[in-house]
């Protein structure tokens, strides 16, 4: 048990050190990217730094398997150079038993990533999108889906417009049973419009069978209502931005994702992408365990045998290959080519079995 605790502590410390180094590198690179992206706006370094801090957790969440691989490689190379692994084996401890502690720590990291990092990434990612849209368009544009339907908000320097629709077509290009409420910055709501449908195209909403009520104080809204067979309203939204807001499962906390999937289906959207993402998040701890097993299969030998550089490179490339297969299976699942559970769970399970096979081959021949 003392040896397990020792290996677990060494692996955890190595993981934290590598995470810190990569976080600093991500902050540096992303800070330059944010400065380039908003170079046409006078935001100041404080806002650029704030955007960088908000965007960094998404990158760390994305490269977490790479961090686990690097931590495993660093751990076992250091143990091999100090001959601690030789002593461990001489004491009768097999390679698979020596891996129990690092694998257990990887499992805990995966559980924490799903239960803690995922909501943080969702919150910071949403805040980043809100601030970036606010800086670009002079007002935030947002999308929300609830049991009451689909909600959109578009804005400019003059005011905001809140849009509510009961349902949409699959690609969000047409909204049905839609209501527009326009707000002035100083005077509050100024107009309400209800329409049978609204289509977004070329920077404007085209409303069919619309009725407009003025909301100016002292004016009889119903007496001054107007009917339109077709009505155009300028929009700061685009179909790409709406689809991106709907289509990013990472923008929704895993605790809210099941409800969000149900609401998506009620609003008329396909929720398959979110279903695949949910199952992939559940399978993440197993995939991180596979990364530990893969990296250890090439580095649990004494350095006097040589070929350490080739072994490290092979482990990293194999890890990248498994990550690519996992991403490819996720895409197939999102497109409906394979079942959701198969897309999410098959790559981690196959990775664990492959790594165990490599370990048994290396140890027992």
Name 307's Cβ contacts closer than 8 Å, sequence gap at least 6: none
Confidence at residue 42, expressed as pLDDT on a 0 to 100 scale: 72
CA 65 to centroid of chain Cα atoms: 14
Q: Lowest-pLDDT range, 65-69, 144-148, 186-190, 198-202?
A: 144-148
Answer whether residue 334 shows pLDDT above 80.
yes
pLDDT bucket at 302, cuts 50 / 70 / 90:
low
How many residues appear in the chain?
365
Inter-CA distances, 241 with 4, 256, 362, Å: 49, 22, 50
Answer whether residue 314 shows pLDDT above 60.
yes
Q: Lowest-pLDDT range, 123-127, 156-160, 162-166, 325-329?
A: 156-160
C-alpha closest to that of 237 among 160, 314, 311: 160
Identify which has the larger pLDDT, 96 or 136.
96
Surface-to-core class of residue 278, CB atoms within 10 Å of its CB (0-12 exposed, 13-18 middle, 19+ buried):
buried
Q: pLDDT tens digits for 101-113?
A: 899 999 999 999 9
CB count within 10 Å of CB 72 equals 30
Here the tokens at position 111 are 């559980």
**Could you give the 3-state DSSP secondary structure of residue 252?**
coil
Confidence at residue 339, expressed as pLDDT on a 0 to 100 scale: 92
Confidence at residue 77, expressed as pLDDT on a 0 to 100 scale: 86
Distance of alpha carbon 165 from alpha carbon 167, whole angstroms: 6
Residue 46 CA neighbour count, 13 Å, CB half: 0
Please give the backbone phi and psi of residue 63, each rounded to the nearest 5 degrees, phi first. -95, 15
Here the tokens at position 306 are 């040589």
Lay out the sheet containing 204-214: strands in order across.
142-146, 149-155, 159-168, 174-184, 188-201, 204-214, 226-234
- Number of helices and strands (H, E) in the chain? 13, 7
Average pLDDT rounded to a whole number, residues 200-223: 83
- Could you write out the DSSP letters of every residue in 50-77? HHHHHHHHHHHHHTHHHHHHHHHHHHHH
Residue 263 CA neighbour count, 13 Å, CB half: 18
Distance of alpha carbon 197 from alpha carbon 148, whole angstroms: 17
Beta strand 174-184 with 159-168: parallel, antiparallel or unpaired? antiparallel
With beta carbons less than 8 A apart as the criterion, state whether 225 and 217 touch: no
């Amino acid at each position: 048990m003392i040896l397990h605790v020792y290996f677990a502590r060494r692996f955890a410390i190595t993981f934290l050190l590598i995470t810190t180094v990569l976080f600093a590198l991500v902050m540096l690179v992303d800070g330059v990217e944010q400065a380039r992206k908003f170079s046409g706006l006078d935001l100041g370094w404080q806002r650029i730094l704030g955007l960088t801090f908000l965007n960094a957790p998404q990158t760390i969440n994305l490269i977490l398997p790479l961090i686990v691989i690097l931590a495993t490689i660093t751990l076992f190379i250091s143990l091999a150079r100090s001959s601690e692994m030789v002593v461990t084996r001489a004491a009768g401890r097999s390679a698979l038993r020596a891996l129990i502690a690092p694998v257990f720590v990887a499992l805990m990291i995966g559980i924490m990533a799903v239960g803690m990092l995922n909501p943080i990434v969702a919150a910071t990612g949403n805040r980043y999108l809100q601030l970036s849209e606010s800086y670009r368009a002079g007002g935030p544009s947002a999308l929300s889906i609830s049991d009451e339907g689909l909600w959109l908000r578009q804005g400019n320097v003059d005011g905001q417009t809140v849009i509510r629709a009961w349902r949409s077509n699959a690609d969000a290009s047409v909204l049905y049973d839609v209501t527009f409420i326009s707000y002035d910055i100083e005077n509050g709501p100024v107009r309400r419009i209800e329409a049978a449908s609204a289509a977004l195209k070329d920077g404007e909403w085209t409303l069919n069978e619309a009725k407009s009520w003025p909301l100016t104080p002292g004016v009889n809204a119903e007496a001054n209502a107007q009917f339109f067979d077709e009505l155009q309203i300028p929009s700061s939204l685009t179909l790409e931005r709406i689809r991106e807001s709907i289509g990013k499962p990472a923008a929704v906390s895993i605790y809210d994702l099941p409800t969000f999937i149900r609401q998506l289906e009620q609003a008329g959207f396909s929720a398959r992408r979110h279903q695949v993402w949910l199952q992939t998040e559940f399978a993440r701890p197993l995939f991180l365990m596979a990364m530990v097993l893969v990296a250890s299969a090439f580095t649990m030998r004494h350095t006097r045998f040589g070929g350490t550089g080739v072994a490290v490179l092979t482990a990293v490339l194999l890890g990248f290959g498994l990550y690519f297969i996992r991403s490819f299976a996720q895409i197939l699942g999102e497109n409906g080519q394979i079942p959701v559970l198969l897309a999410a769970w098959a790559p981690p399970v196959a990775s664990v079995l492959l790594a165990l096979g490599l370990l048994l081959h290396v140890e027992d021949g």
